[in-house]
Structure 1
């Protein structure tokens, strides 16, 4: 069994109605477990919770040895990007609707957290994407993504044309509404709704999924995560790129998005007995017909 955790970062979806009493209940529980508790600064300011330290995500990563994230997968993605470089493990308490990576029910947080704080848990590490947008020889944008990097057309424009190279080798020109490059974590997000496959988190790969391609032969493909993938804007107006929904809009023809596996990984902690396949069954309703 791993060592006991001592200092918890508490992060919440502070926009959610009624989140303050939930966060206070969790904070009080953690204190009763003998832990020091610090809130993410924006969470503390937006909810008005006082009596605890309030720090930026970077400060939380330097001072806390575990992060408890209350919200949905979107809240978790934002925190995970910030804390991955510190190696801080994260526990997700689900207040959202789906919750692939925030898998502890809000009604069962005490039962789940108590043994985890003591060092009894399942741990998994998830791959991240890192990318750079180049215009001529100038780096104009950098981003990290736990889920995906998405290049897409403008809302009122026609499809885009994208040239894809992998490891300096030309692969294809895609004419489509866009292109998704997803990690195994992101394979159950936008990529899945666009027709891509589910990648088990243990697979060292990415999935590349064209969005509504002009050619029906342009199918999703699973790629090794060892090579850099470069997407060049060939044609199209108002094209944008997003890293987990953090977007850079108005890309120009000739702009290149270079994406590779990040050297940082996200550490997710789960209650003992957690199963990836059970999560899929529950979230995707694969239980139909099972007694």
Structure 2
């Protein structure tokens, strides 16, 4: 059977080879080569991310930049954890290429296919049997004296944090044209539905179903106990101004960092870009929550 996806890009963390051997697992290059061989057996052309894997030319894989992958490939397989998927998803979002995640991390909320037994799951997906969903991205900008000094996309969250050794920060928060409050806390999280199961959840925020078009604003250890998480529509612009606090910073998916000065404004808005995820047929978000959060364990 001719696969629905003809040209597949394979992306993973190749540099962790020594650690994988020490833990008793197969070296990442062997894992990825095994997946590449499987894809070829299904009739797919396989490329890998450029300069990612030593010896890849000997295996006959084309090396492509991420930009070339976005333009030329019709499917991307990401082998790793959610952090790897977050980074790749942001970079490939402008191209609209769908992503499938094979989980080599610990949680796997968005890399949901286990490494063990992946051929049985992937084979029907390559032939068009899958569920598709789209996760929206946030655009965050740091403004200083009216000038843009930093800009980043985020799929999970935008986090304003206090310094490692300093006290609380004071943040002036507005939503749209409306002032919300001056908040004193260790920080503030603006999370998408995708990021609602990450840092926001550990800080006491709610879980948002991916179909919910909203963001959750979660204070981190607030000084005022009545300062609670709030669900906001994702078409509203959120502005966070640093009023007081030393060594504060803004994190974007915990992968990009901006150092903040007093008076800096972090503006968070819907980016207009989204990431396409493909899941096995019959996939359910609630199955993922039940498995990853260990619901029902110990019950009768």
TM over 0.5: yes
Give the TM bin, normalised by the shorter chain. over 0.9
Alpha-carbon contact 2:150-2:258 (below 8 Å) kept: no
Aligned match for 1:241, one of 246, 250, 253: 250
Deviations 1:167-194, CA, capped at 9 Å, x for gaps: 1210111111110000000000000001
Task: Give, in whole Å, the separation in 1 of the partners of 2:271 and 2:259.
Answer: 25
Deviation of 1:42 after TM superposition, in Å, equals 4.3
SS in structure 2 at match of 1:107: coil
Aligned match for 1:274, one of 254, 272, 283: 283
SS in structure 2 at match of 1:187: helix
RMSD: 1.2
Task: Give, in whole Å, the separation in 2 of the partners of 1:272 and 1:143.
Answer: 33
2:56 paired with 1:49? yes
Question: Pairwise mapping of residues 105-254 of structure 1 onto structure 2 (< 5 A)?
Answer: 105-254=114-263
Task: Give, in whole Å, the separation in 2 of the partners of 1:247 and 1:11.
Answer: 20
Q: Normalised by the size of structure 2, how large is the TM-score?
A: 0.93
| Aligned position for 1:22 | 31
| Aligned position for 2:94 | 85
Q: CA 1:255–1:39 in structure 2 vs 1: closer, same or farther (change >3 Å)? A: same
Alpha-carbon contact 1:240-1:247 (below 8 Å) kept: no
Alpha-carbon contact 1:232-1:256 (below 8 Å) kept: yes
2:112 paired with 1:97? no
Task: Give, in whole Å, the separation in 1 of the partners of 2:8 and 2:299.
Answer: 39
2:45 paired with 1:36? yes
Deviations 1:86-132, CA, capped at 9 Å, x for gaps: 11110000011111010001012111111111111001111111111
| Aligned position for 2:9 | 9
Deviation of 1:150 after TM superposition, in Å, equals 0.5
Task: Give, in whole Å, the separation in 1 of the partners of 2:283 and 2:80.
Answer: 19
Aligned residues: 287
| Aligned position for 2:23 | none
